[in-house]
Amino acid sequence: MGVLMVTIWCFRKKLSSNRIIHFWKQESLSNITVEAFLRNNGPLALRRYSYSDIKKMTNFFTEKLGQGGYGGVYKGKLPDGSLVAVKVLKNSRGNGEEFINEVASISRTSHVNIVTLMGFCFEGSKRSLVYEFMPNGSLDKFIYKQNLSRDDQRLEWEVLQNIAVEIARGLEYLHRGCSTRILHFDIKPHNILLDENLCPKISDFGLAKICPREESIISMLGARGTIGYIAPEVFCRNFGGVSHKSDVYSYGMMVLEMVGGRKNIDAEADRTSEIFFPHWIYKRLELEEELRHLGIMNETDRESARRMIIVSLWCIQTDPSNRPSMRRVIEMLEGTLESLQIPPKPFLSSPSRSPNDSASTTVRSLPNEDPGLSLFIGSEP
């Protein structure tokens, strides 16, 4: 028995040692990968900060602005007095892939609707990104009714439409304006930041992919992207290839939430028919019913809301080929309401709810999908 116990102890010690060695090998490989990227991409137009710089500019991470799956965002100040937002990555995916994605993608951009990356820190396992400070935070704080203390805090319809147009301009730039096409893959209200004038800027490029212009199908990375905004072809290739049209789908779902002032999937809705907002709002369009419950007070508001609804429903068409490009989205949002046609109803099933489990995430099968494959329709994880 004593010999057996000693043997087990030695085995466990060796196993633990192997795990430690494996961890350090992985960490070392990650560091080599990131350093190689930084070296091979030449002198980036970004300042490289030390971790002590990061601690100093954030006053040792005193003021937290937000939290995500990547880590936290903290308010900081540069020596010249400029305010910044410091994104601290906790568990970078793969061999530093998320860090590389963000630096590589956003360092190639220069657009009024793309947040500006001002610098970064890469020091062993310490990885941070220094962005321009956006005083109004993220879009989700301004559109969801539960986030508003008063009804008059809701953005006016003209402002909402302008924000939708500007976000579309930012995406059109990523898809067509860069020397290489950039696919974001994580468009949602939380990743749209607003400056002091409520000008929106796309942020969080951790899932972004860069590809040559002629490449239209990209292998999808398993994502921390939010389920409710992800295009169906990401889950099932029967719907088509993953491309820039996947960003169009996410954009459309986001605009619908801007219109409804709520999540598209609401398991707490009073009636089953109201759980999936895209289907509910489509029915209102079909029946030409009034939309007063959305806060529409006059004809100008009605036109803005109806225009945003029709455009977003085109964006979430199940077949990617039926979705418009972002350039076409801009044209539709800025054109006349009379020129817009109501699109076919997206045929994805809306979620069902059992009386005893109203708050649970629902899983629904999709038409023509592979056996055993289902699409989660649920709230943000």
Q: Are residues 268 and 196 in the same domain?
A: yes
Which of 76-85, 237-246, 360-369 shows the lowest mean pLDDT across its residues?
360-369
Of 111, 132, 153, the residue that ends a domain is: 132
Q: 87 among the known binding-site residues?
A: yes
CATH number for position 230:
1.10.510.10
Find the domain containing 237 and state its range: 140-377
Q: Is residue 313 part of a domain?
A: yes
Q: Are residues 223 and 159 in the same domain?
A: yes
Q: What local confidence, expressed as pLDDT, does residue 371 receive?
A: 31
Task: Name the residue type at position 301.
Answer: D
Q: What CA–CA distance (Å, rounded) separates 211 from 193? A: 25
Give the model confidence (pLDDT) of 16-65 as tens digits: 444 433 333 344 445 666 666 666 654 456 788 999 999 999 999 999 99
**Residues in CB range of 253: below 8 A, 6 or more apart:** 188, 228, 229, 264, 278, 312, 315, 316
Q: Are residues 272 and 369 in the same domain?
A: yes
CATH number for position 119:
3.30.200.20
On the CB side of 108, CA atoms within 13 Å amount to 22
Q: Are residues 295 and 189 in the same domain?
A: yes
Give the model confidence (pLDDT) of 203-253 as tens digits: 988 777 776 544 433 333 444 556 678 898 887 878 888 899 999 999 999
Q: Is residue 6 part of a domain?
A: no
Specify the DSSP class assigned to residue 34: H
Phi and psi at residue 230, to the nearest 5°: -85, 135
Q: What local confidence, expressed as pLDDT, does residue 373 receive?
A: 29
Give the model confidence (pLDDT) of 109-143 as tens digits: 889 999 999 999 988 888 899 999 999 999 999 99
Q: Are residues 325 and 371 in the same domain?
A: yes
Q: Which residues are catalytic?
A: 186
Report the number of distinct structural domains present in the chain: 2
Q: What CA–CA distance (Å, rounded) separates 126 from 27? A: 11
Q: Are residues 189 and 320 in the same domain?
A: yes
Task: Name the residue type at position 310.
Answer: I
Over residues 302-314, mean pLDDT: 94
Higher pLDDT, 241 or 379: 241
Over residues 263-284, mean pLDDT: 72
Q: What average pLDDT does the structure give for the chain?
A: 76
Q: Are residues 218 and 360 in the same domain?
A: yes
